[in-house]
């Protein structure tokens, strides 16, 4: 593994063009807030909006989105729905990650002091294999009434995600990596994932390596989360663990996740929810998508704009301007207006 971070593309005259995939549910309104905040802060980023029709019976929209991301290198994404049940129509979210080979998902879970959450002072990094395992999309009915679903674990992908986790730990002053698995039951598949993480760990003697079974991990996360530093895990366990930790910190509306490959990057809210029931009501928490946008700015090298927006977000949260999901009474609009206010103070 040579490259850990992909190189940003589409850089011209100091501006970047980024693919925007609003998706369904609250996606479009959250993207509207991102555009508003970027405009207000004078961010030199242009968006190429790509809609994917959830009812389409073919993969044409998906192919177009993939082409756009290949061209721009970077995307900001909401959750995309796939309603068609026609054979061969792929889950769009999974297909995007698999086609672009975004083999790692990184979710940095840090507590906000101003959020009244179940656990305080959490700082856990979840490094999740993002393209195979239980999400291989290889399901079939072998005989009537019998469904088989293939969980694929490869040497190659296990090694590069493990390498990413240990390299991340080393570069960011982290002390411990915990491999989370179910190798006691899935001896071959999870066994391989665990074994490879142990081999990679040998190259990083300064970092402590241990492992934990997924079910125990969920219990430990809820009861004693401060023992965790970097968590390395397979695709489905990563989804579960991410949601547990987000729940401990304040829910689906706060944190952002990053999907990396060697060439492309997609930024999105950490728990990847559609939020259909709260769409269009001015109640969705805009913070997770704004945090994803800030991560994207850092990735593109727009450090100044990233920190201005990040500070405005942090001040707003720690001031107690909270939407309902955080126990507050603010609307999405109130939160965004407050962020704009702080950007104005910082830039004038
Ligand atoms: P999924 O897309 O996985 O089915 P949902 O869209 O049902 O998940 O979201 C799970 C829960 O999280 C719902 O109660 C939803 O209202 C809530 N949620 C998701 N995103 C946000 C957000 N940005 N602000 C507030 N609540 C959110
Ligand atoms: Mg949903």
Better-scored residue on pLDDT, 12 or 144: 144
Is 288 a residue whose pLDDT tops 50? yes
| Phi then psi dihedrals of residue 105, to 5 deg | -115, 130
Is 9 a residue whose pLDDT tops 70? no
Ligand 1 mean position, distance from CA 278 (Å): 8
Ligand 1 mean position, distance from CA 271 (Å): 8
CB of residue 291 inside a 6 A radius of ligand 1: no
On the 0-12 / 13-18 / 19+ scale of CB atoms within 10 A, 83 is: exposed
Is 211 a residue whose pLDDT tops 60? yes
Is 158 a residue whose pLDDT tops 60? yes
**Mean pLDDT, all residues of the chain:** 94
The Cα–Cα gap between 268 and 289 comes to: 6
CB of residue 287 inside a 6 A radius of ligand 1: no
Write the ipTM. 0.95
C-alpha R_g of the chain:
20
| Phi then psi dihedrals of residue 336, to 5 deg | -65, -45
Among the residue ranges 128-142, 276-290, 321-335, the one predicted with the least confidence is 128-142
Is 83 a residue whose pLDDT tops 80? yes
Collect all residues with Cβ–Cβ distance below 8 Å to 20 and sequence separation of at least 6: 31, 47, 48, 49, 50, 75, 76, 77
Ligand 2 mean position, distance from CA 80 (Å): 9
Nearest CA to ligand 1 atom 6: 275
What is the atom index within ligand 1 of the atom nearest the CA of 275? 6
CB of residue 27 inside a 6 A radius of ligand 1: no
For residue 162, the number of C-alpha atoms closer than 13 Å in the C-beta half-sphere is: 28
- Which of 29, 246, 275 to mutate for ligand 1's pocket (most ligand atoms within 8 Å of CB)? 275
pLDDT, residue 86, reads 85
For a pLDDT cut of 90, what percent of the chain falls above it? 88
**Structure token pair of residue 167:** 């390299």
What is the atom index within ligand 1 of the atom nearest the CA of 277? 16
pLDDT, residue 8, reads 56
- Residue range 23-77, pLDDT digits in tens: 999 999 999 999 999 999 999 999 999 999 888 888 899 999 999 999 999 999 9
What is the atom index within ligand 1 of the atom nearest the CA of 30? 23
Ligand 2 mean position, distance from CA 37 (Å): 26
Return the residue matching tokens 């570069």. 171
Among the residue ranges 8-12, 90-94, 104-108, the one predicted with the least confidence is 8-12
Q: What is the dihedral of CA 183, 186, 189, 192, to 10 degrees?
A: 20
Is 217 a residue whose pLDDT tops 80? yes
Ligand 1 mean position, distance from CA 272 (Å): 8
Task: With H, G, I as helix, E, B as strand and everything else as coil, classify residue 232.
Answer: strand
pLDDT, residue 7, reads 57
Among the residue ranges 11-25, 47-61, 249-263, the one predicted with the least confidence is 11-25
Mean pLDDT, residues 76-101 taken together: 90
**Structure token pair of residue 206:** 């300064």
pLDDT, residue 159, reads 98
pLDDT, residue 232, reads 98
Angle at 113 between CA 128 and CA 172, to 5 degrees: 40
The Cα–Cα gap between 111 and 113 comes to: 6
CB of residue 243 inside a 6 A radius of ligand 1: no
Mean pLDDT, residues 102-114 taken together: 97
The Cα–Cα gap between 31 and 5 comes to: 25
pLDDT, residue 1, reads 47
Question: Is the distance from CB of 9 to CB of 73 less than 8 angstroms?
Answer: yes
Please list, residue by residue across 227-259, b when 16 or more beta carbons sit within 10 angstroms of its beta carbon and e when fewer do.
ebbbbbbbbbbbbbbbbbbbbbbbbbbbbbbbb
Is 2 a residue whose pLDDT tops 60? no
Nearest CA to ligand 1 atom 7: 275
Among the residue ranges 43-47, 51-55, 171-175, 193-197, the one predicted with the least confidence is 51-55
CB of residue 242 inside a 6 A radius of ligand 1: no
């Amino acid at each position: 593994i040579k490259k850990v971070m992909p190189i940003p593309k589409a850089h011209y005259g100091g501006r970047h063009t980024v693919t925007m995939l609003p998706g369904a549910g609250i996606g479009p309104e959250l993207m509207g807030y991102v555009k508003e905040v970027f405009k207000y802060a004078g961010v030199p980023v242009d968006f190429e909006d790509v809609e994917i029709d959830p009812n389409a019976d073919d993969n044409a929209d998906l192919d177009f989105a993939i082409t756009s991301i290949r061209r721009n290198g970077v995307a900001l994404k909401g959750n995309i729905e796939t309603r068609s049940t026609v054979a061969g129509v792929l889950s769009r979210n999974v297909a995007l990650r698999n086609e672009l080979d975004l083999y790692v998902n990184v979710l940095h879970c840090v507590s906000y002091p101003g959020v009244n959450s179940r656990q305080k002072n959490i700082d856990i990094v979840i490094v999740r294999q993002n393209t195979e395992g239980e999400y291989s999309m290889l399901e079939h009915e072998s005989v009537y009434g019998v469904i088989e679903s293939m969980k694929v674990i490869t040497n190659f992908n296990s090694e590069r995600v493990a390498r990413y986790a240990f390299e991340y730990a080393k570069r960011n002053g982290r002390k411990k990596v915990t491999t989370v698995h179910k190798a006691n039951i899935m001896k071959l598949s999870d066994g391989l994932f665990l074994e490879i993480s142990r081999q990679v760990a040998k190259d990083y003697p300064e970092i402590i390596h241990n492992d934990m079974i997924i079910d125990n991990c969920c219990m430990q996360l809820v009861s004693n989360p401060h023992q965790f530093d970097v968590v390395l895990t397979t695709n489905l366990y990563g989804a579960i663990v991410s949601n547990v930790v987000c729940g401990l910190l304040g829910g689906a509306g706060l944190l952002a996740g990053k999907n990396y490959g060697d060439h492309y990057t997609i930024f999105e809210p950490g728990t990847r929810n559609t939020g259909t029931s709260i769409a269009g009501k001015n109640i969705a928490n805009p913070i997770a998508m704004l945090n994803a946008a800030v991560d994207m700015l850092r990735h593109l090298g727009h450090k100044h704009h990233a920190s201005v927006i990040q500070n405005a977000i942090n001040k707003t949260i720690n001031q107690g301007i909270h939407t309902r999901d955080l126990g507050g009474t603010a609307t999405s609009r109130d939160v965004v207006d407050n962020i704009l206010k702080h950007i104005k103070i910082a830039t004038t």
